[in-house]
């Protein structure tokens, strides 16, 4: 059976974009290790932008174009305990969540509820 394709939404421009990208990569690794879903992390565009800069709106439009093909969204905060770093606010992630909701696609705020949904739908 095909694993659900999960879009990870989280802060980027609020706080430190490098730490925020690191957090998405950490979530990606957790989801990949568990093997229950196939994650997509849009903040990898952070590294594309360092090599090939584009206007910020281009990256937002790119992400919004991909959302319709995703099965669900996992909305996470940016947290990095060793640095006492915690960011929740993100207008971009909030817009992504709203698009998922407008499309009738589920949004989860924890890995455990995401995995319960996968279990219930398999």
Residue 101: give its domain's CATH number.
3.40.50.10400
pTM beyond cutoff 0.85: yes
Q: Is the dihedral of CA 14, 15, 21, 27 positive or negative?
A: negative
Which stretches of 11-106 are DSSP H helices? 17-34, 45-51, 56-66, 91-102
Tens-binned pLDDT, residue by residue, of the chain (122 aa): 699 999 999 999 999 999 999 999 999 999 999 999 999 999 999 999 999 999 999 999 999 999 999 999 999 999 999 999 999 999 999 999 999 999 999 999 999 999 999 999 98
Query: Can you give the residue range of the structural domain that contains 24?
Result: 5-120
- Report how many domains make up the chain: 1
């Amino acid at each position: 059976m095909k694993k659900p394709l999960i879009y990870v939404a989280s802060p980027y421009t609020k706080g430190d974009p490098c730490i925020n990208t690191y957090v998405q990569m950490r979530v990606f690794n957790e989801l990949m290790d568990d093997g229950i879903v196939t994650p997509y992390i849009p903040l990898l565009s952070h590294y594309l932008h360092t090599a090939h800069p584009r206007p910020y709106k281009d990256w937002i439009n790119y992400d919004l174009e991909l959302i319709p093909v995703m099965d669900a969204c996992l909305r996470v905060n940016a947290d990095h305990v060793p640095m006492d770093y915690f960011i929740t606010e993100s207008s971009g992630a909030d817009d992504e969540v709203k698009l998922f909701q407008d499309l009738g696609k589920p949004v989860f705020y924890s890995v455990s509820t995401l995995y319960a949904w996968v279990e219930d739908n398999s």
